[in-house]
Amino acid sequence: MKLAIVNNQNKKTGDLALPSQFAEEYRPDLIKRAVHSLQSRARQQHGADQEAGLRHSSKLSKRRRKYRGCYGFGISRINRKIVSRRGTRFGWIGAFSPQAVGGHRSHPPKAEKIWERKINKKENRKAIRSAMAATVQKTLVLERGHKVPEAYPFVIAGNVENVAKTNEVEKLLLDLGFAAELERSAEKKVRAGFGKVRGRKYQRRKGVLIVTSGNCPLLNAAKNVPGVDVVEVRALNAELLAPGTDAGRATLWTEKAVQKLAEENLFM
């Protein structure tokens, strides 16, 4: 498969044959597993305090002739704590047990639980190749909701990696025909549900992904464009190429990045 090489002024300067990574079969099941594996490793362990609900002095005997026992009072035999006393009569209230107010939970979350979901190296590489191949299939990109120009997919010239300012990156994307996509990814909405009080108030759609050959000025310049992600070709992963496990993200590959992919045989 060959793609056109386009410069800053959106003019074709040649063609580039894509390496074998882009010929991979589309496997949404593998892509989903690889993304979930990445997300599980980012998940923070959590658990209840081991002494939560167990701090009460709530020992209560069920024996027949015990001075402070509950035998013969017609009450359920759960742990109780004494809240009042008159002579040999005591006022109890349920504590400690899971069904009692102030008691511990039956099976609380435990901090030692392992959340990580493992995936084989070969499966992960295959998932990345599959997600890469999906980025050059226009039907999948449109199904994902991206608004791409008529000429998509194409490769951008290598000198684009020298762009050093955010407004220059925005101008480049506008010139390449991504005006509608930038407008789509700039829209910010308030999240539905309780997550908005937990530091996740706003949601924004994922926009264009720009892949570079290595460390370059473009990495910092594109960082502040809403919805746009930029990454070195070596650091690609399934979640960047298929956010939310949905493959077909609108992706701009630089000429140098594609060449590096072929030369170093990455993800094979």
Q: Kindly indicate the confidence band of residue 236, based on its pLDDT and cuts at 50, 70 and 90.
A: very high
Is a pLDDT exceeding 90 seen at residue 249?
yes
Over residues 11-30, the mean pLDDT reads 93
The answer on 10 and 138 residing in a single domain is yes
pLDDT at position 17, please?
92
* Structure-model confidence comparison of residues 130 and 88, the more confident one: 130
Are the C-beta atoms of 91 and 84 separated by less than 8 Å?
A: yes
The answer on 150 and 206 residing in a single domain is yes
The answer on 174 and 66 residing in a single domain is no
Token duo for residue 262: 């072929």
Alpha helix (H) residue ranges in 3-95: 28-42
What is the tally of structural domains in the chain?
2
| Domain interval for residue 76 | 46-113
pLDDT at position 215, please?
92
Is 268 part of any domain?
Answer: no
Q: What are phi and psi of 191, to 5 degrees?
A: -65, 140
pLDDT at position 158, please?
87
Q: Kindly indicate the confidence band of residue 66, based on its pLDDT and cuts at 50, 70 and 90.
A: confident
Over residues 99-123, the mean pLDDT reads 92
Is a pLDDT exceeding 90 seen at residue 72?
no
Q: What are phi and psi of 133, to 5 degrees?
A: -60, -35
| Strand 80-86 to 202-204 pairing | unpaired
| pTM assigned to the model | 0.84
Please report, for the domain that includes residue 37, its CATH number. Answer: 3.40.1370.10
Is a pLDDT exceeding 90 seen at residue 87?
no
Is a pLDDT exceeding 90 seen at residue 71?
no
Phi/psi class of residue 219: alpha, beta or left (left: φ > 0; alpha: ψ in -120 to 50)? alpha
Is 135 part of any domain?
Answer: yes
The answer on 137 and 82 residing in a single domain is no
Is 227 part of any domain?
Answer: yes
Is 222 part of any domain?
Answer: yes
Distance of CA 28 to the CA centre of its chain: 16
Alpha helix (H) residue ranges in 144-243: 166-175, 179-186, 217-221, 238-241
Residue 161 CB neighbours (<10 A)? 23
The answer on 128 and 35 residing in a single domain is yes
Is a pLDDT exceeding 90 seen at residue 9?
no
